[in-house]
Structures are given as C-alpha cells and as structure tokens.
A and B are shown apart, each in its own frame.
With several copies, the nearest count.
Chain A
C-alpha cells in the first residue's frame, strides 16, 4: 500500500457511525514496500541508521578468522574449528544464564562459583561416593537450582540488590566448592564416563551422517517455521515477510550450516557439546520469545512496577530466572569439568564469569534490562573463544594477550554501542 492512498481514504470517507474516523496506520510511517526490493531497501536504510543487528558481530567473527588464519595458517583447520565448537559449550551455557539475568536488568556474579560447586558435587558424588553418574549430575544441577532459588529469594522477597546477594554467593559457594572437594582437592572424572563424554563424545562416534542430518534438520525447521508464520499472517491480513526474503534467509542459514557440517566432518564429526549447546539456545530462545513466561521476563526487565500492576507475579519471575541461570551455570560447569578432565578448586573462578558476561553483551544483550536474546550468548562466546584460541595459536606474550583481549572486547562493543546509539536517536531504543 502506498501512504498517500491511506491518508486520503481516511480523510475523504469519514464513516458516519461511532466507528473510527482515523486509520490505525500512521500515514507518516515510511512503510516498507512489498516484495524483495522493499526488503533490500529497508536493509540499506537500517544499515545507514545504525540498526545493525548481528551484522557487526558476524563481521567481527569473519575478521578474527581471517586475521588468525593469515598469521598462523592453522586457525581454519578442521580440528581447530572443532575444538572451538567444543569449548564454547561451557562458558556459552553460563552466558545463556547471564542473558536471562540481564534481561531482568540484574546481574548474577555468582554463576562462576555455581559452575564450580556443581562440577565439584557431580565429580565427588560419582567418583568418590560411587553414585551413578547420571544421578550425580542431576543432583549437582538440582543443587545449583536450589542455590539460584536462594539467591532469588533474597533478591525478590527480602529486597537485597541482586548484585550484593550474588557477590556474597560468589564468596560463599566457592567456599562450599573447596569444602566439597576436601583436602584432596582435585577429583578426576571417570574415564569414558558420562562426565568425560560430555566434552569428548562425537555423535555416532564421528559418523558423518549425524552431522549432515543435524544441519539439514535445523535448516528445514527454520525454513518451514518462517514459511508457516508468514502464511498465517498473510491470511489474517497482517503484514508478513515476503517469500523472497524467507528464501534468502533460509538460504544464508543453509550455507552456514552446510559449510559447518562439512568442516566438522573433516575432523571428528559432530561434537556432543555443540549439539547440546545449540539445542539449549534454540529452546531458551523459544521460551523467551514465544511464551507468556518469556514475555513476563521482558516485562519485569522493562518496568517492574508496570509488570506488577499487570498482575504478573514479579517475585516468582525473578526467583525462577535466578534458578534458570544457576541451572545453566551448573550445566556449563559440568562441561568445563569434562573439558579439563577434573573438578578442581579453581573451576569457575577467574575469568570464567567475565568472559560469559562479555559474551552476552558482545552478542547484543543489553546491560540495562529488557532487551536481548540467547543467541547473543552463542555469537558472543564464539567471538571470545576464537580470540583466545587464536592468540594461543600465535603464542604471544601473556601481558600482550591480556591487552589484546581487552582491546578487542572494547572494539567489538564500541561498534555495537555506537550502532545502538544511532538506533536510539532514530527512536528504536
């Protein structure tokens, strides 16, 4: 529809009944033209006005890949890339937890300690107490969720700022972690047990069919979902994505998915940690964007008072989010334990939390609450892990590594912030 027509229709044909005289669509809105050309035009406009979405992060990833490949010649090796996909699972899952907390406009500083304590619990129960490993892992995650509930309780019911509750938690749970591990300290995970396999197992023991199947399934589901949604909107008379755009999006995803599958198959196949991490990102994304519960999280993050007045049980939303994030951190902790082959006193300390927060933010989740998605955990942690692995390949001096990590992090975020600021002054902030 062109804008002029709408305006005229409304002005020239006022209905005589109590029915509306003005149209709900504003004639000043520069509506996107139908079809593919319109899509391209809007894309250009968005780029110009700084509404870049994930584009800078993806460009950043490509840049990082190109630079390190140029320097070392090893970065894009199949086995190096496979390693990266395996290693993102641990901190990435913690970052998913962080995204939930950030959406509430809060921060959880204890997630690193929680990852550490649950890894310790799982390892001690399965190795020292000889419990079934599945059960041990479940108990560890349950313990973490209980810890999250405790934090949530102090925050939501007692009113202690989340920052402080989780700061106290950070200290207390790393104490518990030491206590659980006891005097002997480090506990090795069982050889070829469940915990060990979290990191080292490849689906179908490296069978290429699994990789291809996973990729094709993902692409097909995405395409079908987009198509059905557009169809329903069209049927209901609402503006919908044009088919050409859906085809383009699905095509881009297909290329990425199939290239990734090909690379993985060059090495050991489809790593279990990647499958689990991707599945969790997809599920949590669905929860956040397509369920009432997810909507409630956004509402509380946007305005606590408005959410409360809308009848939302704010305390419960807050408590449950802290439970979810603690659960994610616990799962992440198990992956880290699997990766290092043991649970030790320092697991989850140091940079783990920082990297996960940075991942969420780099990926585009707002620190100010109410805006973000779990995909940002995936994108962000890929950036960070690529830089870390790349620097390890280059073997530069440690002090320089620190500074480079800091600088790149800053660079990525500056780009993001500048784009977001332009966006805000264009009224979509």
Chain B
C-alpha cells in the first residue's frame, strides 16, 4: 500500500496498536550499522508497505536488562508486532513467551532470539566467517599454503563472534600453514592494535603473512600498527563501513564483508507488516530453522558478500550505501582514480 508519508503520529498512538511496529536493536557502540542502516531501511520499507504505520525504535545500549525494559514498554504501549534484534539471544526465552501469551508477535532479527518467535531473518553468521576465511586465502593467493595467520577475534561474550571464528577456522585450517597467534580483540580497536603489537614482537616482522580481523574497526587499528612496524600483509574485516571501503580503495585492507542491510531490513519490514495485517509469513520466510528452544521457525536467511577493491562499484555503490563522493575524499582521490571509481 502507499499513502502519505508522515501521517499524524498522535492519532496513531491513540488508536493503537495495529498501526505500530516495535523495533529493538541491541547496541550502537561496536558498529554503526544499526542506526545508520537497519533503522532507516526498516522505517522506509514499513512506510512503503503501510503508509500510516509507524516504527517505534529503541536501542538497548548493550544491556539485556535494558532491552527487556524496552520490550515491556512497547507492550505497555500496546504494540502488537516487535522486530527484536536481541542483545543476548539466549536471554529472550521468557520475554518472547510472555509476549506470545499476550498475543504480541516477535520477529527475530539478525540474531536468533530464543523462545516462540514468529519468524527469523538474518545473515548466516557462520557463512560470514567462512567468507572471511576464503577472502583471506584469496588475498594470499599462491602463498596461502605457506602462510602463517594471526587471528584477532571478536568479543568472547558475543555469540556471533564465536560463529565468525568457527566459520573462519573451517576454511583456514588446512588451507594455510598455521594460525600462529589468536586472541580476542574484544571488538575494541585500541585493544586489537595492542594485540597485534604483541604478535609482532613475538613472531617477528616476518612471522606471519596475513591477519584475520573479525571486524573493520579492529582492522583499522591493526593496519595502523602494522604500518608503523613497516609490515605489509593482507588484513580483512567485516561491516563494510565507509572507513573500510576507503581502506580497500587505498589498498591497506584486502576485503570486508558486506551484509547488505537493505534486503535484511526489507524482509523484516515485510514480515512485520504481514504479521500486523494477519497474513501468513511463510510467503517471505520460506526456510525453516531450529533455535535452542523452538523448532521449525519460519526463516529467511540471506547471503553476505565479500567486498574487495575490485567489486566496490557492484556492491556498496550499486546498493547506494555510499556514493563515490563519500568514498573518494581528499587523500583517497588518487587511489580512487587508480581503482577506476572516478
């Protein structure tokens, strides 16, 4: 359906509930994606599908307890459908059950929340790890078999970090010589930078031939430290942040993983509107997945993509995530020309 955007909000809040969709995102400290992509994309798609629907968004700032409060607040406001990107997916069992008892439907977004959720949309996180591993092997090319690898993983407390790690290991173990240093960077750039410093000290400048970084923020710090030690080896991350794309252009970073947020957000919005209007979700979520607590959840699983210097144009620019002008600022202009972006 279409209709005028920006319909009367107050009306909505009073009349209820069949017109608003709750959106709960987990944090915004480690990645900018939530507020710069997921939220606006979902809002836009919901507007497109249902002109007088509104999205009520809250962010849990990295706390499961806070997210629970936001969850209950939405229910107190009378919201009937909630898109939940659980900060701690294992915690949500009792919440989702409570909500289901009150007739509130929950869509697990990005992370598979436990409890009787109505549908699940996500990227395949293990796949992300596998792609990262493969991209690193590709970046090494023929030298891969003789290469020693340093791995800087995400925070142990984040379940997705474990999936990235195991996915990456699945590919790397066997294709490279050895993972010679592996530590958690806690998702923090400064920490990651210091870990790589320790690795250099211990292994020597020639002790490793590539660095796996779980995300781009840590990759940036790793690259800075490598540069200062005059080491030039492939480094990759994930998230496809603007800074990472710029590093791809300048050749400092080898790849990043682009999880096209748009299809993910669009699917979630479609599912939410469908649930709001009482339609079947199977039309969108045709796959099926089991969580720790429930079986046969309708699911839509999307494939992430690897971005390298070569395919920037076909991915993030084509998806209008960034414009060439965004990327090719000041110091990157020359590199952009060389890469054929300008």
Contacts and interface: CB of A to CB of B under 8 A. Distances in A.
Contacts of A80: 73, 76-77, 197-198, 201
Contact of B28 (A74, A87, A178): A178
B65 interface: yes
B216 interface: yes
B14 A73 contact: yes
Contacts of B189: 340-342, 344, 346-347
B114 interface: yes
Interface string B10-37: 1001100000000000001111100110
B90 A342 contact: yes
Contact of B94 (A74, A185, A189): A189
A87 B159 contact: no
Contacts of B92: 341
Interface stretch (B118-126, B132-140, B141-149, B326-334): B326-334
Interface string A398-428: 1101000000000000000000000000000
Contacts of B67: 340
B224 A339 contact: yes
Interface stretch (A211-219, A236-244, A386-394): A386-394
B298 to A, nearest CB: 23
Contacts, number: 230
B194 interface: yes
Contacts of B30: 346
Contacts of A360: none
B58 A395 contact: yes
B112 interface: no
A199 interface: yes
The listed residue with most A CB atoms (<10 A of its CB), out of B32, B64, B187, B247, is B64
A389 B67 CA distance: 11
Given A73-B14, A340-B67, A398 B193 contact: no
Contact of A392 (B73, B78, B220, B243): B73
A397 B190 CA distance: 18
Contacts of A350: 61-63, 188
A215 B36 CA distance: 48
A79 interface: yes
Interface string B39-77: 000000000000000001111011111111110110111
B190 to A, nearest CB: 5
Given A339-B65, A346-B157, A186 B220 contact: yes
A341 B152 CA distance: 17
Q: Which DSSP category, helix, strand, loop or mixed, fits chain B's interface? A: helix
Contact of B76 (A83, A388, A398): A83
Given A80-B76, A184-B32, A341 B91 contact: yes
Contacts of B246: 188
Nearest to A83: B197
Interface residues on A, range: 35 or more
B129 to A, nearest CB: 17
A130 B330 contact: yes
A350 B241 CA distance: 22
Contacts of B13: 72-74
Contacts of A83: 69, 72-73, 76, 194, 197, 200-201
A329 to B, nearest CB: 14
Contacts of B183: 392, 395
A75 B35 CA distance: 25
B58 A392 contact: yes
B329 A344 contact: no
Interface in B191-213: 192-195, 197-198, 200-202
Interface string A83-110: 1001100100000000000000000000
A128 interface: yes
A127 interface: yes
B227 A200 contact: yes
A79 to B, nearest CB: 5
A200 B188 contact: no
B34 to A, nearest CB: 9
B312 interface: no
Nearest to A79: B76
Nearest to A82: B76
B93 interface: yes
B63 A79 contact: no
A196 B220 contact: no
A77 interface: yes
Nearest to A130: B330
B116 to A, nearest CB: 13
Interface of A: 72-75, 77, 79-80, 83, 86-87, 90, 127-128, 130, 178, 181, 183-191, 193, 196, 199-200, 336, 338-342, 344-347, 349-352, 388-389, 392-393, 395, 397-399, 401
19 contacts: A74-B77, A74-B78, A83-B197, A186-B88, A186-B216, A191-B250, A340-B64, A340-B68, A340-B91, A341-B95, A342-B90, A342-B220, A346-B187, A388-B66, A389-B69, A389-B198, A392-B73, A398-B35, A398-B156
Report, nearest first, the 4 A-B pairs whose CB atoms are least far apart: A185-B32, A341-B224, A392-B198, A186-B90
Given A75-B201, A185-B88, A196-B224, 5 more contacts: A72-B13, A80-B201, A342-B90, A342-B91, A342-B217
